[in-house]
Amino acid sequence: MGVWDWDAVVIGAGAAGLMAAVHAAERGRRVLLLEKGRKPGVKILMSGGTRCNITHDCDARGIVEAFGPNGKFLHSALAALGPRTVVAFFEGEGVATKVEETGKIFPVSDRAVDVLEALLNRLRRSGATLATSEPVTAIDALPDGGFRVTTAARAVTAEKVLITTGGKSYPGCGTTGDGYGFAVAFGHTVTATRPALVPLTVQTAWVAELRGITLPDVGLKVTENGKPLAARRGSMLFAHFGLTGPAPLDVSRAVSGHAAPATLTLEVDLLPAEPEPHFDEYLRTESLASGKKQLAVVLAEKLPRRVCDQLLAVCGMPPDRKAAALSKPDRQALVAAVKRLRLPLRGTLGFEKAEVTAGGVSLDEVDSRTMQSKRCPGLYLAGEVLDLDGWIGGYNFQSAWSTGWLAGRNL
């Protein structure tokens, strides 16, 4: 033991901080975990609609892929604690898990509070000390090594410090970007931050009339002057402000990261499993065979009726239009509306409603094998404070657990 008050101080008791403190303390390190809020793990409790999507049912490669070009940074962290090991960790703490059709892994109880309680129980057994309602105001490197961490209540010294303060998403949880300032003070670069996994707002007024309708499988493309910026396939929910659900959330970072989101268009394929020529042929044969039926009824074989009525309106056709004698131009207009529906975007609902933050501390300045800063020995960074954001589906929690665990191994 050195001359310090603590071997390691971890700043921020979210997913990454809790995991890091547990692992470091179980290695015999004297660990202080500081949390500015009244309670630890508030975002864990909110996540997945209060169910907590622990991780995704895939291997390490599947996790890496979800983070795009930055995903390769996670190789060492995932080798230390991969998706299967995370499941085993929580199962070992009494949290039975289940895999849903989408590949998301949840507690069988559907209670995020069980996930947090398991972590806090493990933390208590580890011997780490948790201090809540204690915001950090400064971190200073000491001349002979180690750090002084100043909080609203005291100043403590430590051999090593880990920043796991999260990003800026859901600021109501306390994640207001404090860690970026600490990192910059030690010479780190922060890549511009923006909301990710956030609902989209649209300029098209009629979308609000479909609020509450979920389409389980759509193809989405964010385009600028016809050039695709992001694409994803999954479920989508119409809302009073625009669109939400997994597919819109997954393409949202391209929108929030754009200087002029109102110049972007969302191209929607309402039937991605059906090739365009097949759908065109379906409309042609049905208009001949079922001429007395309303066109909306024919379309309703494929899509919810309220959506069909709206598509007819988009194409300038009356809602009671009969299927008979559907002209080729009308048919082509309908095919385009179903397979290439264009919705001009307004933007997103911003950090207030974002599940994660895109951008953060530059990965080039952090050693991916240890999570140690390349700018300041003894300083570590993990979790969402880093420039890492993945798809919806438990990927971001996996990144937090893994980078936290790897940091904890080196604190």
Q: Say which CATH number the domain at 113 has.
A: 3.50.50.60
Cα separation, 351 vs 327, in Å, equals 47
Q: What is the DSSP letter of 285?
A: H
Assess whether 154 and 110 both reside in one domain: yes
- The answer to whether position 320 is within a domain reads yes
Assess whether 340 and 243 both reside in one domain: yes
Q: Which residues of 233-243 are buried (b: 16+ CB within 10 A; e: fewer)?
A: bbebbbbebbb
- The answer to whether position 225 is within a domain reads yes
Assess whether 213 and 183 both reside in one domain: no
- The answer to whether position 72 is within a domain reads yes
Angle at 167 between CA 411 and CA 382, to 5 degrees: 20
Q: Where does a domain end: 306, 326, 349?
A: 349
- The answer to whether position 305 is within a domain reads yes
Q: What is the pTM of this model?
A: 0.92
Angle at 204 between CA 357 and CA 168, to 5 degrees: 10
Assess whether 57 and 179 both reside in one domain: yes
Per-residue confidence of the chain (411 residues) as pLDDT tens digits?
458 999 999 999 999 999 999 999 999 999 999 999 999 999 999 888 899 999 999 999 999 999 999 999 999 999 999 999 999 999 999 999 999 999 999 999 999 999 999 999 999 999 999 999 999 999 999 998 999 999 999 999 999 999 999 887 766 666 677 899 999 999 999 999 999 999 999 999 999 999 999 999 999 999 999 899 999 999 999 999 999 999 999 999 999 988 898 999 999 999 999 999 999 999 999 988 877 889 999 999 999 999 999 999 999 999 888 888 789 999 999 999 999 999 999 999 998 898 999 999 999 999 999 999 999 999 999 999 999 999 999 999 999 999 999 999 999
Assess whether 261 and 303 both reside in one domain: yes
Task: Kindly give the interhelix angle for 112-126 and 15-26, rounded to the nearest 10 degrees.
Answer: 30
Residue 1 is predicted with a pLDDT of 43
Assess whether 48 and 170 both reside in one domain: yes
Assess whether 63 and 100 both reside in one domain: yes
Q: Where does a domain end: 299, 320, 349?
A: 349
Assess whether 41 and 185 both reside in one domain: yes
Assess whether 167 and 205 both reside in one domain: no
Cα separation, 220 vs 293, in Å, equals 31
Residue 2 is predicted with a pLDDT of 56
Q: Are strands 136-141 and 147-151 parallel, antiparallel or unpaired?
A: antiparallel
- The answer to whether position 45 is within a domain reads yes
- The answer to whether position 53 is within a domain reads yes
Assess whether 157 and 217 both reside in one domain: no
Cα separation, 71 vs 77, in Å, equals 11
User: Residue 381 is which amino acid?
Assistant: L
Q: In total, how many domains does the chain have? A: 2
Assess whether 302 and 392 both reside in one domain: no
- The answer to whether position 1 is within a domain reads no
Which residues constitute the domain of residue 327? 199-349
Residue 177 is predicted with a pLDDT of 77
Closest-CA residue to 204 (of 269, 264, 272): 264
Assess whether 137 and 276 both reside in one domain: no
Q: Which residues of 365-393 are buried (b: 16+ CB within 10 A; e: fewer)?
A: bbebeebbbebbebbbbbbbbbbbbbbbb
- The answer to whether position 103 is within a domain reads yes
Cα separation, 137 vs 150, in Å, equals 6
